[in-house]
Structure 1
Amino acid sequence: MRLLVGLVWLLSWLPFRVLSALGWVIGSLIAALPSSRRHIGEVNLRLALPDWTPAQRQRLLRRHFVAMVQMLLEYGYCWFASRERLKRLMRIEGLEHLRALDGRNVILMMPHFTGLDLAGLRVSLETPLVSIYSVQKDPWLDAFFRAKRLRFGTGIIFARQQGTRPTLRALKDGYRLYYLPDQDFGHRDSVFVPFFGVPAATIGGLSRMAAVTKAAVLPCYPRREADGYTLVIEPALENFPTDDIVADATRMNAVIEAQARRQLHQYFWLHKRFKSRPPGEADFYSR
């Protein structure tokens, strides 16, 4: 792992366009190889885009593999780039929506797009952030990831295993929550609501935390461009949350789907978003 980190450090010195080209080459090669991840992507795109031809979905999947590899190569920017370089690499559009909420609790709703970690670090230079992370099995790697996430001293992080109480406390203390709500965490605390027309297990955490803390929810996403990224911060959701967790989850998924449709190749298609099924439905991913 130390050798890998060293390689990422070396890559961090490369210009963005050069790293992008390298990602195109490696990503295109990986996309051509049979793999479990490719199978997952094919299933997801078949479910989400049934009106597309198989050839169209394959082209999109190849672009997605490229975007994923580009994101991995760019982690050196997250870990080693200076504040000034980070600001050049990740511009912010809609920062006024965040600044208009000074003095209020805020949840930045960030779906799983390529560039999400770079975006989180960038927005932490504008406002103190709290976020939730998954503990790594390797103690050295876990400590490294924690240190790099906190390297500017602009936020705090809590392990998912700690539950939501520390996060809620930090939110009430003035930190803005950078929250990723769009993966399948199983049936517990989830409701089945549409995502790209498919019933998807969707956690109600966003609605619950916004209700408890009276936080405004700002949808956001990173948009990868030729010379860097733009973090798009959208206006706060109106009349959210309600007392209907199913309606709130449905609305959240609709917002995320609209964001994803603007840049389909940059949304995470390689995880089992539709793994949990309502009673009686078969597993989509079994071969």
Structure 2
Amino acid sequence: MKLLVGLVWLLSWLPFRAISALGWLIGSLIHALPSSRRRIGRVNLRLCLPDMPAAERERLLHRHFVAMVQMLLEYGYCWFASPERLKRLMPIEGLEHLRALDGRNVILMMPHFTGLDLAGLRISLETHVVSIYSVQKNPWLDAFFRAKRMRFGTGTIFSRQQGTRPTLRALKDGGRLYYLPDQDFGARDSVFVPFFGVPAATITGVSRMASMADAVVLPCYPRREAGGYTLVIEPPLQDFPTRDLTADAARMNAVIEAQARRQLHQYFWLHKRFKSRPPGEPDFYAHD
């Protein structure tokens, strides 16, 4: 594991365009190999983009494998790049929306796009960020990840196993919560609302925490470009949350879908987003 970290450190010295080229090569090779992830990606794209010709969906999946590998190779920037280099690699579009909320509790709603970890570190250079992470089984790796996420002293992290109370308390204390709400965590504590027209188990955490902390929700996403990323912060959601958790979840999914359609190859298509099904519906991934 330490050898792998050393390799990532070496990669951090490469220019962004070199990482892009290396990612294209490795990602193309991985896409060409049969795998469960490739089958999952095909299922997701077929469900979400049924009107797109199959050959075009396959080209999109290829681009997505490339983008995912590029993201992995870029972890050296997350772990070792200086604040000045991070700012050059990822300028922020719409920072004025965050600045306008000084003194307010804020949830930065970040879907699963490639570049999301780099984006979280980048925004922590502008404001104190609260985030949630999954504990790693390897104690050394877990400590390493925690240290790298907090290396600028501008963030607070809680494990998913700690529950929501510490996170909510930090949000109420003025931390800006960097929250990823768009994966399938099971039917419990979720509602089924459309995502690309497919009922998807969707957590209601954004709505509930925004209500409890009187927080403003700012949708955001990273956009990968030729020479780096742009972190896009959109205007705050108006009249959100409401008292209707299902309506709020549907609105949230609509926002994420609109973001994904702007850069389809950069959204995470390789996880089982539709694993949980409403009663009586078949398992889309049964043959994986």
Q: TM-score, normalised by structure 1?
A: 1.00
Match of 1:232 in 2: 232
How far does the alpha carbon of each residue in 1:149-175 deviate from its partner, in whole angstroms, 9 at most, with x for none? 000000110000000000011011111
| 1:152 partnered with 2:169 | no
SS at match of 1:181: coil
The correspondence of residues 215-254 of structure 1 with structure 2, limited to 5 A, is 215-254=215-254
Once the two structures are superposed, what CA deviation does each residue of 1:246-283 show, in whole Å capped at 9, x if it has no partner?
00000000000000000000000000000000001110
| Aligned counterpart, 2:273 | 273
Aligned to 2:130: 130
Amino acid at match of 1:45: L
Mapped partners of 2:247, 2:132: distance in 1: 25
Structure 2 counterpart of 1:121: 121
Root-mean-square deviation (CA, aligned residues, Å) is 0.3
Q: Which residue of 2 aligns with 1:29?
A: 29
- Is the partner of 1:132 in helix, strand or coil? strand
For 2:183, the aligned partner's letter is: Q
**Sequence identity (%):** 85
| Equivalent residues in 2 for 1:65-84, closer than 5 Å | 65-84=65-84
Secondary structure of the residue aligned to 1:188 is coil
- CA shift for structure 1 position 83: 0.4
CA-to-partner distance for each residue in 1:43-84, whole Å, 9 max, x for gaps? 000000000111010000000000000000000000000000
Distance 2:105 2:156 in 1: 16
The alignment partner of 2:91 has SS state of: strand
**Which residue of the partner structure matches residue 261 of structure 1?**
261
- Unpaired runs of at least 5, structure 1: none
User: Residue 68 of structure 2 aligns to which amino acid in structure 1?
Assistant: M
5+ residue gaps, structure 2:
none
- AA at the equivalent of 1:39: R
Aligned amino acid, residue 154 of structure 1: T
> Residue 216 of structure 1 aligns to which amino acid in structure 2?
V
Aligned to 2:10: 10
CA distance in 1, matches of 2:172, 2:205: 16
Q: What is the rounded CA distance, in whole Å, between the counterparts of 1:190 and 1:171 in structure 2?
A: 22
Distance 2:272 2:183 in 1: 8
Q: Distance in 2 between matches of 1:188 and 1:208?
A: 15
Tell me the distance in 2 between the aligned counterparts of 1:39 and 1:49.
15
Q: Alignment partner of 1:86: what SS?
A: helix
Where 1:21 maps in the other structure, the secondary structure is: helix
CA distance in 2: counterparts of 1:18 and 1:216, whole angstroms: 39
Q: CA deviation at 1:241?
A: 0.1
Report the equivalent of 1:163: 163
Question: Separation in 2 of the partners of 1:202 and 1:171?
Answer: 21
1:223 aligned partner, one-letter code: R
1:286 aligns with 2:286: yes
Q: Which residue of 2 aligns with 1:187?
A: 187
The equivalent of 2:96 in structure 1 is 96
Distance in 1 of aligned mates of 2:243 and 2:171: 21
Q: Distance in 1 between matches of 2:168 and 2:19?
A: 38
- Whole-Å separation in 1 of the counterparts to 2:91 and 2:275: 35
Residue matched to 1:51: 51
Letter in 2 for 1:142: D
- Whichever residue aligns with residue 155 of structure 1, its letter is G
Q: Residue type matched to 1:205 in 2?
A: G
Tell me how far apart the structure 1 counterparts of residues 173 and 279 of structure 2 sit (CA, whole Å): 41
Q: CA deviation at 1:286?
A: 1.2
Offset of 1:240 from its aligned partner?
0.1
Q: State the one-letter code of the partner of 2:20.
A: S
Partner Cα separation in structure 1 for residue 264 and residue 53 of structure 2 = 15
TM-score, normalised relative to structure 2? 0.99
Matched, 1:142 2:134: no
